[in-house]
């Protein structure tokens, strides 16, 4: 059935493609955060273990919202490790870094998601896609706040 939501097919396709990159970055960050939750050690163990759990739980809900928006635009959401690896700008962590390095990598991951999301605004403006722009604004606000909180742990 034709989709007639006031956004032409090319713009819907382009926006969905961009959202696929935001989804892939978000999922890569979810995996990294969950990995660090399981494997963090050291004097800040309890604080970081709890903080990382809150963060990966929030990211799990976020990837669902992003995928559902992609579907609302008429595209299929990427959903495999290989698709995420191809689309994501966040490097996979194969080892178990020290706690401070975990924090640093998570700050960088949140900043990456922010930049990937922010890059979609011009297309959303062109297509008058306020729903996607609103979702991106919410995601950016969450990632900026989380990056700030993580960054604060590295100061002093």
Query: Are 123 and 14 within 8 A, CB to CB?
Result: yes
| Encoded tokens for 46 | 């309890």
- Evaluate if residue 142 carries a pLDDT over 70: yes
Average pLDDT over residues 5-28: 96
Phi-psi region of 42 (alpha: psi -120 to 50; beta: other; left: phi over 0): left
- Evaluate if residue 84 carries a pLDDT over 90: yes
Query: Are 30 and 52 within 8 A, CB to CB?
Result: no
Query: Are 112 and 68 within 8 A, CB to CB?
Result: no
Query: Are 108 and 150 within 8 A, CB to CB?
Result: no
pTM: 0.95
What confidence score (pLDDT) does residue 155 get?
A: 86
Q: What percent of the chain has pLDDT over 90?
A: 95
Distance separating alpha carbons of residues 106 and 151, to the nearest angstrom: 9
Domain spans of the chain? Answer: 9-154
Distance separating alpha carbons of residues 156 and 152, to the nearest angstrom: 8
Q: 9-154 has which CATH code?
A: 1.20.1260.10
Q: What is the H or E stretch that residue 136 is in?
A: helix 130-154
What confidence score (pLDDT) does residue 1 get?
A: 81
Q: What is the mean pLDDT of the chain?
A: 96
Distance separating alpha carbons of residues 131 and 148, to the nearest angstrom: 26
Distance separating alpha carbons of residues 134 and 139, to the nearest angstrom: 9
Confidence of residue 156 (pLDDT cuts 50, 70, 90): low
């Amino acid at each position: 059935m034709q989709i007639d939501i006031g956004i032409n097919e090319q713009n819907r396709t382009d926006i969905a493609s961009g959202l696929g990159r935001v989804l892939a970055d978000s999922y890569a960050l979810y995996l990294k955060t969950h990995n660090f939750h399981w494997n963090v050690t050291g004097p800040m163990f309890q604080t970081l273990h709890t903080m990382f759990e809150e963060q990966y739980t929030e990211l799990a809900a976020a990837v669902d919202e992003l995928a559902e928006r992609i579907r609302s635009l008429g595209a299929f959401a990427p959903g495999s490790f290989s698709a995420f690896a191809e689309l994501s700008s966040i490097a996979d962590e194969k080892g178990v870094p020290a706690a401070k390095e975990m924090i640093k990598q998570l700050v960088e991951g949140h900043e990456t998601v922010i930049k990937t999301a922010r890059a979609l605004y011009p297309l959303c403006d062109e297509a008058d896609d306020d729903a996607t722009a609103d979702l991106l604004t919410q995601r950016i606000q969450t990632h900026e706040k989380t990056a700030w909180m993580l960054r604060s742990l590295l100061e002093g």
